[in-house]
Amino acid sequence: MEEKKDIKSMTLEEISADFRELGLPRFRAGQVFRWLSRGAEGFSQMSDLSKELREQLSEHYAVRGVEIVRKQVSQIDGTIKYLFRLFDGEHVEAVLMRYHYGISICISTQVGCKMNCSFCATGKSGFSRNLSAGEILSQVQSGSIDIGERVSHIVLMGMGEPLDNYENVLRFLELATCKEGMNLSMRAISLSTCGLADRIYDLADRKLQLTLSVSLHAPNDEIRSRTMPVNRKWPIGELLKACRYYARTTGRRISFEYAMIAGVNDSDGCARELAQRLKGILAHVNLIPVNDVTGTGYKKSGIRRQRRFVEVLQEHGVTATVRRTLGADIEASCGQLRRKHEGGTGHEGCA
Ligand code: SAH
């Protein structure tokens, strides 16, 4: 039997074209697309379609979303961490946070990751596969259905490297912002990358109003190559060239993530070097005290070191803030739940 098509990853135009071939009227495509955009888990829920049509569609298409298998709610700030199961038994995580401007969800783009940053829990469990656009989208819908509220902001900063799953991530962006569908604003979506420079150029040329975050975490190649293997392929000079191009082409400010690791990248000298490197780029630095990950031996920088680092950056004309930690009591950082669930050691994580 021919494999069923993944209809959740299809655009309205693609569904319409398919349905035309099946001899179905155009409005049917709109109906089905709206159901999918609202998070329907299967055709059986699409109550305004006849039983025959639902059966016909389920012969051709699969609705592949995500299923909540575990949920932790922070007693401190209400942050929710989800563990989702995918159709093939794989797991990914997402974290939903409440801010004054709305509800934001941090979602995964891959099961595991190939990038192997030395401080990150996700890379330690290896890489299984890319998520489909529908699976990425479904994390947002599941969170929203679970809390009964609209999610206004999306952060592609969970498990995986979004630009290593470029096609599906772009498709996800198209689906998430589709007027007839979820209708999210591109400005309310952030994509975080460890720095695949070639893809940053590609993304820039699309001229999306997306917010780009770059995980820099070091001011020079010596430190960065030690902590982030991707730097051996795309050194800082190349990466920042791509960032300059991105900022120039899109007019959008880039946010640089910088996890402060005691004694590794948090000296005054590092701050000065960082400021030097970022000169002339429309940028903001987000400092994050590194999260403990078992086996790395890294410790977060103390509060005084964090403040001093911000001061030095500001003295050199770079704006920076220390990111507030949410969900501290539920280890609201990626990589931990999946590892625990699949037999890892547990206490580890990222931002
Ligand atoms: N692959 C993408 C997005 C996923 S990682 C990227 O690299 O940007 C999300 C963010 O968490 C990245 O900035 C990553 O560097 C950071 N991170 C990973 N482990 C961390 C840790 N232990 N402490 C603080 N930040 C961490």
Cβ(190)–Cβ(210) below 8 Å: yes
b/e map 21-58, b = 16+ CB within 10 Å: eeebeeebbebbbebbbebbbebeebeebeeebbeebe
Report the nearest-CA residue for atom 1 of ligand 1: 161
Annotated catalytic, 120? no
Q: What is the pLDDT of residue 160?
A: 97
Q: Distance between CA 26 and CA 216 in Å, rounded?
A: 47
Annotated catalytic, 243? no
Q: What is the pLDDT of residue 341?
A: 53
Query: How many DSSP H helices and E strands does the chain contain?
Result: 13, 14
Q: Distance between CA 67 and CA 88 in Å, rounded?
A: 11
Residue 7 identity: I
Q: Distance between CA 339 and CA 70 in Å, rounded?
A: 13
Q: What is the pLDDT of residue 296?
A: 87
Cβ(119)–Cβ(290) below 8 Å: yes
CB of 191 within 6 A of ligand 1: the answer is no
Q: What is the pLDDT of residue 104?
A: 97
Q: What is the pLDDT of residue 124?
A: 87
Q: Distance between CA 108 and CA 110 in Å, rounded?
A: 6
CA nearest to 327, candidates 136, 81, 8: 81
Q: What is the pLDDT of residue 348?
A: 30
Q: Distance between CA 31 and CA 28 in Å, rounded?
A: 5
CA 350 to ligand 1 center in whole angstroms: 5
Global pTM value: 0.94
Q: What is the pLDDT of residue 338?
A: 60
Which DSSP category does 266 fall into? -
Q: Distance between CA 33 and CA 312 in Å, rounded?
A: 51
CB of 193 within 6 A of ligand 1: the answer is yes
Report the nearest-CA residue for atom 8 of ligand 1: 193
Q: What is the pLDDT along the chain (351 residues), one digit of tens a residue?
A: 578 999 999 999 999 999 999 999 989 999 999 999 999 999 999 999 999 999 999 999 999 999 999 999 999 999 999 999 999 999 999 999 999 999 999 999 999 999 999 999 988 889 999 999 999 999 999 999 999 999 999 999 999 999 999 999 999 999 999 999 999 999 999 999 999 999 999 999 999 999 999 999 999 999 999 999 999 999 999 999 999 999 999 999 999 999 999 999 999 999 999 999 999 888 999 999 998 887 888 999 999 999 999 999 999 999 999 987 778 788 766 555 565 555 433 223 333
CB of 192 within 6 A of ligand 1: the answer is yes
DSSP E strands, the chain: 5-6, 61-62, 67-73, 80-85, 91-99, 102-106, 110-112, 127-130, 153-156, 189-193, 211-215, 254-260, 283-289, 320-322
**Domains of the chain, with CATH numbers?**
5-62 (1.10.150.530), 113-127+148-164+175-341 (3.20.20.70)
Q: Distance between CA 130 and CA 157 in Å, rounded?
A: 14
